[in-house]
Structure 1
Amino acid sequence: MSTLLEQLRQYSTVVADTGDLEAIRRFKPEDATTNPSLILKAVQSGQYDALLNEIVAVARGHNGSLEEAVDEACDRLVVTMGSLILNHVPGRISTEVNARLSFDREASIAKARQLVALYEEAGISRDRILIKLAATWEGIRAAEVLEREGIECNLTLIFSFTQARACAEAGAFLISPFVGRILDWYRKANPDTVYTPEEEPGVQQVREIYRYFRRHQYPTVVMGASFRNSGEVLALAGCDRLTISPALLEELAHGEGSVEPVLADNGERADPPAPITEVEFRWQLNEDAMATEKLAEGIRGFEADQLKLEALLRERLAGGVA
């Protein structure tokens, strides 16, 4: 009998949630996703030391300040790592705009264009790139502009239906609802409640989003993310894409049993409602304590790891490491 992972691939596109090249080579995902936390982890593993030294050498030739050189080195690092990953996946790489720009539409657009330019300089066409932006109001509006320019986006840190709806209405290529982080919040709020995978609030939310998008014929791809266990993954079999950590890919690759599609287009159709306004978006998000808290926490967490990455590069650029 085929493994759980092999069966899952029949219903959903499998994406690797890692910057670990060995894991990517082993599990052969269609796409891969990265974020500042994953990039930092990959750099700290030592497998990118030679690459890091090359990037530092290039950035040292920058005519601006040390901080400008650090910014350039960070951009070149994520793009170069993304390019390497693309040698091992047939599809796309998701590359994230700095979390500190999550509330700055114009700066997010400028940074996205810069990252795409670096990819194109490296010979990578934009149809193999997804620019990741936090699904704040400003991030969604930045994606709306970028999509019109042919720069397709992955709206991340999705914790509410409101965020998902706004992304679809803005024409985002893909959204990433964070299943496991939603569960984390509910477990903390309701410590005595035991959730089966099918009952988990994050799983239920992804199912709701998927069905809404199909019913109203939004082409936006739904990619479940941030899984805490393989049961969550299997409870979303049939979702457009699922981005899965190496540990869970390993578990699924050795798992036995039967996988059945849970999500499928049932053919129901309805006209979409009028697009959500900024006032409605902000109010509805404010009224959702879980989404408000987890979105803020996610942005802070990515920024914390971005700062650690910048500190590492700053030390090397200042001469701490050759």
Structure 2
Amino acid sequence: MTETALSQLKNFTTIVADTGDLNAIKKFKPLDATTNPSLITAAASFPENKELIEAAFDQAKSEGYQSDELIDRTIDILTVKLGVEILKVVEGRVSTEVDAALSYDTAATIAKAKELLALYATYGVDQNRILIKIASTWEGIQAAKVLEAEGIHCNLTLLFGLHQAKACADAQVTLISPFVGRILDWYKKAENVDHYPIEQDPGVQSVKHIYQFYKQNQVKTEVMGASFRSVEQVLGLAGCDLLTVSPNLLDELAQDHRQVEIQLNANAHSSNIESLSPITEIDFKAQIQKDLMASQLLQGGIDGFIKARDQLSSLLKQSFGIDADIKA
């Protein structure tokens, strides 16, 4: 029998599980795993994570936190505890996200990243197994630049265009996560189109362009395609450094037996690819504002992650009988 599409894909690309579901991670055996506030919130609803949540709350309480600060600390501890459990299953790294509310505050992002790493250290986790996940705002990218210079590896997420990718290259970040599905969603709505052939899919094409730009300019930052809507999108980026894929699509790939062909080649060259040159804050912000798709999706993604964290906060307050109106 022909190999599954998933097993073939693993020959070309590092597959990462985009989930906080430990059972799914055990099933598909990815090298790495990624989480975000939405996935952490979803994971908190799993009965098997009840003990982790209670332990996180008890730890935060024992540290002297109260009211809203108690809940915020509980969320950070829970996020790290889930990361620790994931690292018991995967051989590689886990991406752990900084609170999206800090996306426009460089100093606060740096401080929060170090808080999370300090928590991981209490569980004996080497920081080289952690990718600190930060939104690709100018301020977030500058935070990553400082962290990377200190040997702290970062994953820049909510990335929708070459201008963000250029700034990440300047910052020498470890990894970027350009979003495929959200770009497709935006163009389908903006252009009132129901479907794009995979060779014209704007999300797939965006990642291909960034990947080629990096390879031709010898940028060491890894490219990890993210936010997929279909197996066709995933297979359309076969050969990308990494692809982070949700459990439902991993399951489809595990049952698919089509022939998988490499779509991205690090050695391929294109005359249409420009050379790498530093991008300033003024240029970066001007290009973001000019690119309606990127600006809307970046802010929408940040707002969505803040909302997911707020939902988890409300859930925890309800679970532990904390008055939501009390302010720390």
Q: Which residue of 2 aligns with 1:8?
A: 9
- C-alpha separation in 1, matches of 2:48 and 2:198: 35
Per the TM alignment, residue 53 of structure 1 is displaced from its structure 2 partner at its CA by 1.1
Q: Which residue of 1 aligns with 2:317?
A: 314
Q: Which residue of 2 aligns with 1:110?
A: 111
Q: Which residue of 1 aligns with 2:46?
A: 45
Aligned AA (2:310): L
- C-alpha separation in 2, matches of 1:273 and 1:131: 25
Deviations 1:181-209 (A, max 9, x none): 00000010112353012211010010000
Aligned AA (2:41): L
SS in 2 for 1:195: coil
Residue pair 2:101, 2:302 contacting (<8 A) in 1 also: yes
Alignment of 1:59-98 (within 5 A): 59-98=60-99
Q: Which residue of 2 aligns with 1:55?
A: 56
- C-alpha separation in 2, matches of 1:15 and 1:273: 28
Deviations 1:129-164 (A, max 9, x none): 000000000000000000011110000000111111
Residue pair 1:25, 1:88 contacting (<8 A) in 2 also: yes
Q: Which residue of 2 aligns with 1:305?
A: 308
Alignment of 1:172-251 (within 5 A): 172-192=173-193, 194-251=195-252
SS in 2 for 1:113: helix
The reply to whether residue 278 of structure 1 matches residue 281 of structure 2 is yes
Q: Which residue of 1 aligns with 2:326?
A: none
RMSD of aligned Cα (Å) = 1.5
SS in 2 for 1:47: helix
Unaligned stretches of 5+ residues in structure 2: 324-328
- C-alpha separation in 1, matches of 2:294 and 2:224: 18
Per the TM alignment, residue 266 of structure 1 is displaced from its structure 2 partner at its CA by 2.0
Aligned AA (2:279): I
Aligned AA (2:174): F
Per the TM alignment, residue 311 of structure 1 is displaced from its structure 2 partner at its CA by 1.7
- C-alpha separation in 1, matches of 2:150 and 2:276: 25
**Greater mean deviation of Cα atoms: 69-78 or 186-195:** 186-195
- C-alpha separation in 2, matches of 1:316 and 1:259: 47
Per the TM alignment, residue 66 of structure 1 is displaced from its structure 2 partner at its CA by 1.6
**Greater mean deviation of Cα atoms: 154-163 or 50-59:** 50-59
Shift in CA distance, 197/267, structure 1 to aligned 2, threshold 3 Å: closer
- C-alpha separation in 2, matches of 1:205 and 1:90: 29
- C-alpha separation in 2, matches of 1:276 and 1:78: 33
Per the TM alignment, residue 272 of structure 1 is displaced from its structure 2 partner at its CA by 4.5
The reply to whether residue 145 of structure 1 matches residue 142 of structure 2 is no
- C-alpha separation in 2, matches of 1:45 and 1:284: 41
Residue pair 1:100, 1:303 contacting (<8 A) in 2 also: yes
SS in 2 for 1:10: helix
Shift in CA distance, 317/193, structure 1 to aligned 2, threshold 3 Å: closer
- C-alpha separation in 1, matches of 2:194 and 2:268: 35
- C-alpha separation in 1, matches of 2:8 and 2:310: 40
SS in 2 for 1:167: helix
- C-alpha separation in 1, matches of 2:234 and 2:67: 43
Per the TM alignment, residue 271 of structure 1 is displaced from its structure 2 partner at its CA by 9.2
Q: Which residue of 2 aligns with 1:291?
A: 294
Per the TM alignment, residue 268 of structure 1 is displaced from its structure 2 partner at its CA by 4.4
- C-alpha separation in 1, matches of 2:112 and 2:51: 26
Deviations 1:224-243 (A, max 9, x none): 00000000000000000000
Residue pair 1:70, 1:314 contacting (<8 A) in 2 also: yes
Shift in CA distance, 215/121, structure 1 to aligned 2, threshold 3 Å: same
Residue pair 2:17, 2:247 contacting (<8 A) in 1 also: yes
Residue pair 1:198, 1:232 contacting (<8 A) in 2 also: no
**Greater mean deviation of Cα atoms: 304-313 or 140-149:** 304-313
- C-alpha separation in 2, matches of 1:205 and 1:184: 13
Aligned AA (2:103): S
